[in-house]
């Protein structure tokens, strides 16, 4: 009945798959591979159309370059697509009539093709063993083992996971359609010739080699304490100014001082234990915090402010907020 459905390579996913498995390619086209996964995940007919195209490329094909490229596409789709695609891949019909036939003695494929097919069957049997509707591949795997087929040695724990982590955009409902979205980062299938480009590889955190606690010398500790004192003192000055200021009646110089970021080498910034006042004058609120006496110097040291506060605290006047 397959012939009644037309050319498998005429569908959108079929066209991409035909290009991605062209024997003239020097290496895998991972852009196309990821686009195939997108179509499968985001269209209603994507999974079925992809399986039809894969069957056409794999069945009876003696161009083993194309076969290996198709197996890589298949592996990539299983790792990056959802349950709708897994059901079509893991059933007995596809595994037995397509994959097992590739490695039959009658076809006598190269060892690299045999190992690839057996490795896929083994990995899928292990991954889908606990899913009742995906156990077709498990049965085929156990039958092949009973017949004495030797599977390649593989560390299943080291393999990339078959089940893709939950997508940030849910897989499309078969009864609905949705626009194509930008390709998300996925786990690429391992290849037999060359690795996928860096744009599709998962980012790795740099390895940190820490053998013991990090210690600072006395000079660094002294510098840190000095900087902390600067921040603490500047915070007190700013707090006093904010307490004195009346909303809607702020002086422009007060606002300019408060809006200047600390730690920068511009006017109106806090540096090295000093509040640098803009335009060569002290804001009115700072003058009020220090007392009625005028301060001609545009740079008021924190020690002076603290000394003035200490002397005022001994008088009968009450400060808006205590210095700690």
Q: Do 290 and 153 share a structural domain?
A: no
Q: Which of 165, 193, 209 is the last residue of a domain?
A: 165
Last residue of a domain, one of 138, 165, 192: 165
Reported confidence tier of residue 66, pLDDT bands at 50, 70, 90: very high
Specify the pLDDT at position 23. Answer: 93
Beta bridge partner(s), residue 271? 274
Q: Is 263 left (phi over 0), alpha (psi -120 to 50) or beta?
A: left
151 occurs within a structural domain: yes
pLDDT tens readout for residues 132-161: 999 999 999 999 999 999 998 865 554 555
What does the mean pLDDT of the chain come to? 73
- 241, two tokens: 């100014």
Could you tell me if residue 108 is left (phi over 0), alpha (psi between -120 and 50 degrees) or otherwise beta? left
| Domain identity same for 123 and 240 | no
Q: Residues 254, 109: one domain?
A: no
CATH code: domain of residue 91: 1.25.40.90
Does residue 205 lie within any of the structural domains?
no
Assess if residue 149 is contained within a domain. Answer: yes
Task: Name the pTM for this structure.
Answer: 0.52
Residue 243: domain span? 218-313
- In the chain, the number of structural domains is 2
Domain boundary among 149, 165, 181: 165
State whether 35 and 135 are in the same domain. Answer: yes
What is the maximal distance between C-alpha atoms in the chain?
107
298-318 pLDDT, tens digit per residue, is: 444 555 555 555 554 444 444
Same domain, 15 and 158: yes
Question: Could you tell me which residues come within 8 angstroms of residue 266 by beta carbon, excluding any fewer than 6 positions away?
Answer: 260
Of residues 129 and 244, the one with the higher pLDDT is 129
């Amino acid at each position: 009945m397959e012939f009644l459905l037309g050319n498998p390579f005429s569908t959108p996913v079929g066209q991409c798959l035909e290009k991605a498995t062209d024997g003239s390619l020097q290496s895998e086209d991972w852009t196309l591979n990821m686009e195939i996964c997108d179509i499968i995940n985001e269209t209603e007919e994507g999974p079925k159309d992809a399986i039809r195209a894969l069957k056409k490329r794999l069945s009876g094909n003696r161009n083993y370059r194309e076969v290996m490229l198709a197996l890589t596409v298949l592996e990539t789709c299983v790792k990056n697509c959802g349950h709708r695609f897994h059901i079509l891949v893991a059933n007995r019909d596809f595994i037995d009539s397509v994959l097992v036939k590739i490695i039959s003695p009658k076809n006598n494929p190269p060892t690299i093709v045999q190992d690839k097919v057996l490795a896929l069957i083994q990995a899928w049997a292990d991954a889908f063993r606990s899913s009742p509707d995906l156990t077709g591949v498990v049965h085929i795997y156990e039958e092949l083992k009973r017949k004495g087929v030797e599977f390649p040695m593989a560390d299943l724990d080291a393999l990339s996971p078959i089940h893709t982590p939950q997508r940030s955009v849910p897989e499309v409902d078969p009864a609905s359609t949705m626009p194509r979205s930008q390709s998300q980062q996925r786990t690429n299938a391992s290849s037999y010739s060359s690795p996928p480009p860096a744009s599709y590889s998962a980012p790795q955190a740099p390895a940190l080699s820490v053998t013991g606690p990090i210690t600072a010398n006395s000079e660094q500790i002294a510098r840190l304490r000095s900087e902390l004192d600067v921040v603490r003192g500047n915070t007190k000055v700013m707090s006093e100014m904010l307490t004195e200021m009346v909303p809607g009646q702020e002086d422009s110089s007060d606002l300019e001082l408060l809006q200047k970021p600390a730690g920068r080498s511009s006017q109106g910034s806090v540096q090295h234990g000093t509040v640098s006042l803009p335009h060569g004058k002290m804001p009115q609120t700072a003058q009020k915090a220090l007392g009625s006496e005028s301060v001609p110097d545009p740079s008021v040291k924190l020690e002076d402010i603290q000394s003035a506060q200490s002397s005022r605290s001994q008088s009968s006047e009450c400060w808006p907020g205590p210095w700690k």
